[in-house]
Amino acid sequence: MLHSTTIHLPEWINEVVDWQRRYDNDDEKMALAITLSQQNVARGTGGPFGSAIFEIETGKLVSVGVNRVMPLSNSSAHGEMVAIMLAEQAVQSFSLGADGVARELFTSCEPCAMCLGGTLWSGVKRLVCAATAEDARAIGFDEGPVFEQSYQYLRDAGVEVVRNVQQPAAAAVLQSYVQDGGTIYNG
Ligand SMILES: [Zn+2]
């Protein structure tokens, strides 16, 4: 029986990500998440979703994630979860806020039910989304039981939520995925 599994990013990540760069504003940060989603489609390494986690105060990039569900045979390997797991390994804590450094998650598409829960448990203080759940559903992806109250729960827990940042660019990546014949798993 297997006793472990591995989550890893595609090999092209370091061609796309500048780990030394400081990101000054939401547009720069979201541009990275959307670029990751677009490259993941273009290079055939997973579904059309990308995420990135930053330190809020410094703009330092902590981790990135792309959807790896099919390549890794792992239904949990959504972009947000991959970014969260790698960030937690980077800071060596199950909480991305326990050390007093506030961190934020940028995602190219509003989180599914799993990832919205994962966002809450991760300890990030801010969630910023591009494409909407409706954009994902429009190409056949099911986001699961996510309700407006779910977002309010996060806000009540101290997580700032910002939506529709660069939504058209992120939605265009979703459309390109389906136009190129990308597989809609869990559809
Ligand atoms: Zn998800």
**Residues near ion ligand 1 (Cβ under 5 Å):** 78, 112, 114-115
CB-based contact 87:56 (threshold 8 Å): no
Question: Using one digit for the tens of pLDDT, what is the confidence trace for 94-152?
Answer: 999 999 999 999 999 999 999 999 999 999 999 999 999 999 999 999 999 999 999 99
Give the pLDDT score at 185: 85
Cα separation, 3 vs 27, in Å, equals 41
When pLDDT is cut at 50, 70 and 90, the band that residue 186 belongs to is confident
- Going from the Cα of 15 to the center of ligand 1, the distance in angstroms, rounded, reads 25
Cα separation, 184 vs 161, in Å, equals 27
Measured in residues, the chain has a length of 187
Q: 100 vs 27, 55, 57, 68, CA distance in Å?
A: 25, 11, 11, 30
When pLDDT is cut at 50, 70 and 90, the band that residue 74 belongs to is very high
CB-based contact 21:119 (threshold 8 Å): no
Q: 53: alpha, beta or left, given left = phi > 0 and alpha = psi -120 to 50?
A: beta
- Going from the Cα of 133 to the center of ligand 1, the distance in angstroms, rounded, reads 11
Catalytic residues: 80
* Residues in Cβ contact with 115 at an 8 Å cutoff, skipping those fewer than 6 apart: 78, 79, 80, 81, 107
- Going from the Cα of 55 to the center of ligand 1, the distance in angstroms, rounded, reads 21
How many of the other CB atoms lie within 10 Å of CB of 138? 14
Q: 47 vs 104, 116, 143, 144, 184, CA distance in Å?
A: 22, 18, 14, 17, 8
- Going from the Cα of 116 to the center of ligand 1, the distance in angstroms, rounded, reads 7
pLDDT cut 70: percent of the chain above it? 99
Q: Is the pLDDT of residue 177 over 60?
A: yes
Side by side, the strands of the sheet bearing 103-109 are: 61-66, 50-55, 103-109, 126-131, 160-162
